[in-house]
Each structure stands twice: as structure tokens, then as C-alpha cells.
Amino acid sequence: MGRTLNVFISAGETSGDRLGSTLIADLQKLAHAEDERIEWRGMGGPAMRAYAATLFPTEQAAAAGLAELLPRAASVLRAYRRLAALAGERRYEVAVLIDFPDFNLRLAPILKRRGTPILYYGAPQLWAWRPGRVEALRRRIDRLAALFPFEAEWFSTRGIDTVFVGHPAAALPWREKAANGPPWRIGLWPGSRRHEVETILPRQLAATRLLNTRSPGRFSFAIHVAPGCEAPIAALQNRAETSWPLADETTVDDMAWTAAGTAATELACRGAPFILTHAVHPLSFALARRLVSVRHLAMPNLMAGRTVAPELVQGAFTPEALARETLRLADFPGLVKRQRETWREVRRALAAPPGAPSAAELAWNLARP
């Protein structure tokens, strides 16, 4: 066995955990081919820890929005201090920071001071809000692996070495509706954070009751559960007196109600028509309205440049509105066809260009200059 590579990695969301687990597996294959091994330090979710058990659990750090962060501030601060100490304890061959910018961009200067080369994987959405952080990003990282094609040009023109590596959702299987008639199988995707689930799922569950009252037997429902959200979903179902099954890997959605985030991109790449359902604490929403400069929250809509999937946001997201939009999709096949045709284009655009390096290969090249 040859030398040991010390690698720092940090991810703070469910989507980042999936990206990180694939990168860890791919990077370990590259190391094995060179008769080398990797010692991992940093933070990751359950998927990453399955490959690198030495990682600190990311569940103690995940939060989004000012109001949502405050109740967990002490836990997040403890996680940051622990990660900062790990980041500063040595020079690593490479550090991979996966999305989660409010946390990871604070770790980057600590790693830089030790001379650690840094790959940032999953560009922070500075093109949507807080673009003033571009200069800080340029100073703090060595290379950026972008998931969306337009990001490569946006960041490159601002002096950041950026490579579009493709989005993993582009490799998901494209699925057709199981049958032309009822029932429509609707997937509920209430988010990957506990506070998202507690805000979004009650309105989604109320919409299921409305639809079952107005159109008995026309719809069936299943809830997609992110790791760590099992307990709040069970409690909310009990409170709402619903008992919809939990989705598994075999579940196929004919239509979906989804929180903002990676799930919308994944649904589009599977060909599923969806309705975006988004709500946060009023304070977080008021701050975001002042800072966000894009018109769409769903990335597939943003890439299409128009509202293809309905977006129900904050006060507009009510059970009545969600039931109404669902019936429109079910009643007018042309709306479903338009979504699916657009999602095919989005899926093609998200595929990695021929010959493009993977994120693991970019990290490997930084570790072995």
C-alpha cells in the first residue's frame, strides 16, 4: 500500500450528502487504482458516513433561514467549531466543500491558511442572491464544480475557475404514467429539513383531504421521507388523521407536490409533472424577498425561462390553491404534456458534456498537482 491522502470534506444537506457519497466512492476508486488510501475528515450525512465512518454527523449543523436557524443556533455553532478545528489542524491534500455556503465558506479561509487546495462542489447560488460574495468565493477556493450549465459561464466570467460536471439527476430513469385512467399517484415531497416538513406537509395533507372529498378515488398519495424526518411526518399524519403510505425506491409519481430544492430538479429529470409548494417563516421570507433576484424558485422553471410548473409560494400556498392546481393538471393533458416536453430539454441540458471530468477527478487532480 502506497501513501495515505488526507482529505477534508464537508456537506450539510441531504442533497449534498448524496453528492458527497458518490464523490467519496469515486475518489476511493481513483486512490485504489494508484495503490493509495484516503483518510477522511470533516462532516457528512448518513450516505457519506457509510463510506467514511470518521465523518462528523451533518444532522447537527443543517438549518436554513434566519428564523429557522435561531432555535438551533447552539448546535450549529458547536458543529462549526468542531469542523473549524479539524480544518485548521493540518494541511490536507485536498478539501471538498459541498454547497451549504453559509457554513462551508467560513471553513474555506481556515483551510486556505494551511495551504489546502479547495474544490467547491455545487456552486452557491450567488447568481440568485448575495452576488457580492463572488469576490470572497474567488479568494477562498481553487476550483468550482458546477451542477448547472449556466453557472460555468456566470462564475468563469467573474474570475473563478469553474467546470460544469453535469447533474446526477440527468442519469435518473425517465418514467411514464402507469395508466391513462385514475388514480393519479401523487407524491408528496415536503422537504429534507424538519422545519420545512413542519411548515409544508400540513398544507399538503389538507389538500389531500380536499381532493378526496371532491374527487373520490381519482387520486392516491404517498409521502417521500428524507433521512431524519420520519418522526415529524408520523406526528403530522397522526394530527391530520391521514395515513398515507411512505414512498420507497419503487414508488413512481404521476404528479408531485414538492418543496423548493433538489427534489424539483430530480422530478423534472424523471419526467414527473409537479407543483412547487414553498413556505418558510415570515421573517425568513421577508429577508429573502429583499435579496433574491430571480423570478422562479424551481430550478427547472428557471432553466426553461418561464413558469412551466406552477409555483405556490408563501401566502399563495394554501390547501385550496394546491387542490385547484392539481385538478387543472389532471383535467388538461396539454399542461402535463408541456411540462414533460420541457423537462426532457432540461434533462438533456443537465447531462455532463462529452469528456467532462467528474467532481472526483477534479478533486484528485488538485490533490496530486
Phi then psi for residue 341, to 5 deg, are -65, -40
C-alpha to C-alpha distance for 295 and 254, rounded to whole angstroms: 26
Higher pLDDT pick, 172 / 368 = 172
Question: What is the pLDDT at residue 221?
Answer: 97
pLDDT score, position 62: 58
d(CA 16, CA 223): 21
Q: Three cell numbers at 220?
A: 392516491
- CB of 253 within 8 A of CB of 271? no
* Higher pLDDT pick, 218 / 369: 218
Do 4-166+352-367 and 184-350 have matching folds?
Answer: yes
Distances (CA, A) of 259 to 123, 129, 280, 355: 20, 19, 10, 33
- Break the chain into its structural domains and give their ranges: 4-166+352-367, 184-350
Mean pLDDT (whole number) for 292-309: 93
Top CATH class, 4-166+352-367: alpha beta
119 compared with 70, residue with greater pLDDT:
119
Tell me what the pLDDT averaged over the chain comes to. 92
User: What integer pLDDT is reported at residue 13 of this predicted model?
Assistant: 86
CATH 3.40.50.2000 applies to domain 184-350: yes
pLDDT of residue 246: 97
